[in-house]
Amino acid sequence: MIHFDEMACLLYLDGQLDPARSREMDAHLTECSSCRDLLHALQHETSLLSSALTQDNESMPAHLLSTRGRAVPSWIWTLAFGAFAASAYWFWTDGIGPWLDRLSNAGFGGADVFSMIVFSGAFWEGWSDMIDAMQIGALILVVLLAIGWIRRRLRRPVAIAVVLPLMLLALALPPRAGAAEVRRGKSISVSAGETIHNDLVASGASVRIEGTVEGDVIAFSKNLTVTGHVTGDVISFSEEAVIDGTVDGNVRVFSRGVNLQGAIGKNVTAFGSSVDLGSKANIGGGMIVFAAETDLDGKIQRDLLGMVGRTDIGGLIGGQAWIRGGNLTIASTAEIRGPATFEGPQPPEVESGAKLASPIRTEITQETRRTRRTAARSAIHAVFAYGAALLVGILLLVSFPGFFRAALRETGAIGLPIGVGAVALITGGFLLIVGVLLLFIGVGAGVAGALAYAPVVYVAQVFVGAWLGNRIMGEAPSVTSAVIGRMALGLLILRIAGLVPVLGGLVWIAVLLWGTGGVLLGFYRLSRLESAPLPA
Partner 1 sequence: MSPAEQAALQERITLAKSGNAEAWGELYHQHAPAIFRFCRRVMPTREDAEDATMDIFIKVRQKLSQYDSTRPFSAWLYTVAGNHCWDLLRRRKLRQDLETGEVETMPLEHPDPGQLEQLIERRSGQEVRRALDKLPARSRMALVLRYYSDMSYDDIATTLGVRRTFVGVVLLRARHQLREILEGQGGASLAAGGAA
Interface residues with partner 1 (CB under 8 A)?
Answer: 3-7, 10-11, 14, 16, 34-35, 37-38, 40-42, 44-46, 48-61, 64-65, 67, 69-70, 155-156, 401-402, 405, 477-478, 525, 528-529, 532-536
CB of 48 to partner 1, least distance (A): 5
* Minimum CB distance to partner 1, residue 182 (Å): 43
Least CB distance to partner 1 at residue 144 (A): 22
CB closer to partner 1, 134 vs 534: 534
Residue 523 C-beta: closest distance to partner 1, Å: 14
Which residue, 57 or 371, is less far from partner 1 as judged by CB?
A: 57
**Closer CB to partner 1, residue 51 or residue 332?**
51
- 376 contacts 383 by C-beta, under 8 angstroms: no
Question: Which residue, 382, 409, 414, 388, is CA-closest to 483?
Answer: 409
Residue 65 or 133: the one with the smaller Cβ distance to partner 1 is 65
Would you say 70 or 471 has its CB closer to partner 1?
70
What is the C-alpha separation between 328 and 349, in angstroms, rounded?
6
Least separation in angstroms between CB 162 and partner 1: 17
The Cα–Cα gap between 357 and 360 comes to: 9
Least distance from partner 1 to the Cβ atom of residue 391, Å: 22
Q: Give 34 or 93: the residue with its C-beta nearer to partner 1.
A: 34
Report, in Å, the least distance between residue 2 CB and partner 1: 10
From the number of C-beta atoms within 10 Å of its C-beta (0-12, 13-18, 19+), residue 431 rates as middle
SS3 31: helix
Helices (H), 55-132: 62-65, 74-90, 97-105, 113-114, 127-130
CA angle 155, 157, 159 (to 5 degrees): 80
CA distance 151 to 509: 35
Q: Is residue 165 helix, strand or coil?
A: helix
Shortest distance (Å) from residue 127 CB to partner 1:
41
Nearer to partner 1, 16 or 191 (CB): 16
Which residues fall within 8 angstroms of residue 278, CB to CB, at 6 or more apart? 259, 260, 261, 297, 298
Q: Which is nearer to partner 1, 51 or 346 (CB)?
A: 51
Smallest separation (angstroms) from partner 1 to the CB of 401 = 6
Paired strand residues for 325? 308
In sequence order, the β-bridge partners of residue 259 are: 242, 276
- Closest listed residue to residue 411, CA positions, set 456, 477, 473, 478: 456
Complex with partner 1: residue 352 or 531, whichever CB lies closer: 531
DSSP state of 1: -
Around Cβ 536, how many Cβ atoms within 10 Å?
A: 3
